[in-house]
Amino acid sequence: MKIAVFAGDGIGPEVTGEAVRVLEALGLPGLALTYGDVGGAAWRRHGHPLPEETLAMARASDAILFGAVGDFACDHLERHLRPEQAILGLRKQLGLFANLRPAKMFAGMEDASALRPEISGAIDLLIIRELNGDVYFGEKGVRTLDDGRRQGWDLMSYAEDEVRRIAHVGFRAAMGRRKMLCSVDKANVLETSQLWRDVVIEVAAEYPEVTLSHMYVDNAAMQLVRNPGQFDVIVTGNLFGDILSDQASMCVGSIGLLASAALAEGSMGLYEPIHGSAPDIAGKGLANPMAAILSAAMMLRHSFDLEAPAARIEAAVAEVLRAGIRGADLGGSHGCRAIGDAVLARL
Ligand code: IPM
Ligand code: MG
């Protein structure tokens, strides 16, 4: 179990530290952790957010535990040197195209949701976000028009094979759950989305048991707060998935609770909280490490096929929440270390 740990910027090191403590406490045979630099931290030390040695370490590993990247001090840098390029580069270089972002209401957490308890109580959904294409990786730039005005531009595109492979991930996930798949697009305006929809419909023929629906992204954003219980699996493109998953996090209480997996074709995966580096609270011990800890659980499940210890971690986190131990993100007073301690105690 060779795991590369890339803690990154801001609260990344704090929350990843707690996830590592949890992993080590399980006493799994063969666990071997190596540490590498990413993001603004890597830029400071090596002049690049994703140094060659970090990428090599990632390639030599079975899975990656990732913290967060983002640093205001780097906002003036050319785009290819900004911290975010670390995560985008890893996703692309390692072919991590399928992003699983589950959002499930933990028992007793209904009051923390931004939604009324009778609405939030039913949330158990999985957002599957395509991670290697879309406007994220298209050509982009700023050009000067003939009349002298500056114009920013980013190309949105999806090739059919890219849509097909993420659609399969969506349908397979739905088969293992409540057998409902909602494909989210903007086919009423975008050609990229019309092709997306056409291809998803083609793939659906291979999964007759799954009920497929389609939703425009604006409506999906609305339905996520109106009636999130209607969703089982959502499959969508890179940009829409980025936005909807942040929104889903507040529906279940806090972005500090949402873990994610970015998977390649085989067993390789990168596991990270969906939250960012939160520079405002970095280094203060205030961050909630639960999303990082739950990301470690996803790693055991998806890259190492270790369902039992993954479920143990998730049960421990659920118990801690049930006991009313909460971080500041959930209106509580427990710090990062204290929450890690509480999870370890339950384990
Ligand atoms: C996420 C983040 C990243 C993204 C940023 C840090 C580049 O928001 O993982 O959701 O946009 O994908
Ligand atoms: Mg995001």
Q: What is the pLDDT of residue 250?
A: 87
- Is the model's pLDDT at 110 over the cut of 90? no
Q: Give the tens place of pLDDT for each residue, 67-89.
A: 999 999 999 999 999 999 999 99
- Does the annotation mark 71 as catalytic? no
**Which of 220, 252, 284 is the endpoint of a domain?**
252
In a domain, 101, yes or no: no
In a domain, 102, yes or no: no
Catalytic residue among 111, 218, 280, 284: 218
> Are residue 201 and residue 244 in the same domain, yes or no?
yes
- Is the model's pLDDT at 254 over the cut of 90? no
Rg from Cα positions in the chain: 20
Q: Give the tens place of pLDDT for each residue, 8-26.
A: 999 999 999 999 999 999 9
In a domain, 279, yes or no: yes
- Is the model's pLDDT at 107 over the cut of 90? no
pTM of the model: 0.95
> Are residue 84 and residue 135 in the same domain, yes or no?
no
> Are residue 66 and residue 181 in the same domain, yes or no?
no
Any idea which ligand is nearest the CA of 247? 2
Mean pLDDT of the chain: 96
> Are residue 116 and residue 183 in the same domain, yes or no?
yes
The predicted model gives 302-318 an average pLDDT of 97
Q: Give the tens place of pLDDT for each residue, 23-52.
A: 999 999 999 999 999 999 999 999 999 999
Q: Considering only CA atoms, which residue is closest to atom 11 of ligand 1?
A: 242
Name the pLDDT band for 264 (thresholds 50, 70, 90). very high
In a domain, 105, yes or no: no
> Are residue 146 and residue 63 in the same domain, yes or no?
no
- Does the annotation mark 218 as catalytic? yes
Asked whether the beta carbons of 204 and 212 are under 8 A apart, the reply is yes
> Are residue 205 and residue 245 in the same domain, yes or no?
yes
- Does the annotation mark 246 as catalytic? yes
Partnered with residue 262 across adjacent β-strands are: 99, 270
Q: How many CB atoms lie within 10 A of CB 307?
A: 12
Q: State how many domains the chain has.
A: 2
Q: What is the pLDDT of residue 112?
A: 85
Of all residues in the chain, the percent with pLDDT exceeding 90 is 93
Asked whether the beta carbons of 162 and 238 are under 8 A apart, the reply is no
| 246 Cα nearest atom in ligand 1 | 10
CA torsion sign for 287, 291, 297, 302 is negative
Catalytic residue among 134, 136, 185, 271: 136
**Which of 223, 252, 281 is the endpoint of a domain?**
252
In a domain, 43, yes or no: yes
Any idea which ligand is nearest the CA of 238? 1
**Which CATH number fits the domain that encloses residue 30?**
3.40.718.10
| Dist. CA 209 → ligand 1 center (Å) | 33
Instruction: Name the residue among 24, 107, 97, 106 with its Cα closest to residue 65.
Output: 24
Burial 185-206 (b: 16+ CB within 10 A, else e): bbbeeeebbebbbebbeebbee
Any idea which ligand is nearest the CA of 246? 2
Q: What is the rounded end-to-end Cα distance, in angstroms, of the chain?
A: 20
Asked whether the beta carbons of 333 and 288 are under 8 A apart, the reply is no
> Are residue 122 and residue 217 in the same domain, yes or no?
yes
Q: Considering only CA atoms, which residue is closest to atom 7 of ligand 1?
A: 84
CA torsion sign for 130, 134, 140, 144 is negative
Query: How many whole angstroms separate alpha carbon 43 and alpha carbon 56?
Result: 16
The predicted model gives 116-131 an average pLDDT of 94
Query: How many whole angstroms separate alpha carbon 82 and alpha carbon 73?
Result: 10
To test the ligand 1 pocket, which listed residue (72, 88, 242) has its Cβ within 8 A of the most ligand atoms?
Answer: 242
In a domain, 104, yes or no: no
Q: Give the tens place of pLDDT for each residue, 200-252.
A: 999 999 999 999 999 999 999 999 999 999 999 999 999 999 999 999 988 98
> Are residue 130 and residue 56 in the same domain, yes or no?
no
List Cβ neighbours of 44 (8 Å cut-off, separation of 6 or more): none
Catalytic residue among 186, 207, 271, 329: 186
> Are residue 227 and residue 341 in the same domain, yes or no?
no
Query: How many whole angstroms separate alpha carbon 117 and alpha carbon 95?
Result: 39
> Are residue 89 and residue 18 in the same domain, yes or no?
yes
| Dist. CA 147 → ligand 2 center (Å) | 35
| Dist. CA 147 → ligand 1 center (Å) | 35
In a domain, 27, yes or no: yes
Q: Considering only CA atoms, which residue is closest to atom 8 of ligand 1?
A: 242
For residue 111, the SS3 value is helix
Backbone torsions φ then ψ of 106, nearest 5 degrees: -80, 140
Q: How many CB atoms lie within 10 A of CB 154?
A: 13
Which tokens go with 176? 């293992």
**Beta strand residue intervals within 32-136, DSSP E:** 32-35, 63-68, 98-104, 124-130
- Does the annotation mark 185 as catalytic? no
Q: Give the tens place of pLDDT for each residue, 146-156.
A: 999 999 999 99
> Are residue 267 and residue 222 in the same domain, yes or no?
no
> Are residue 12 and residue 135 in the same domain, yes or no?
no
Please give all residues whose beta carbon lies within 6 A of any atom in ligand 1, as ranges.
Answer: 70, 84, 87-88, 242, 274, 276
- Does the annotation mark 242 as catalytic? yes
Query: Which residue range(s) make up the domain with 123?
Result: 110-252
**Which of 237, 252, 267 is the endpoint of a domain?**
252
Q: Considering only CA atoms, which residue is closest to atom 6 of ligand 1?
A: 84
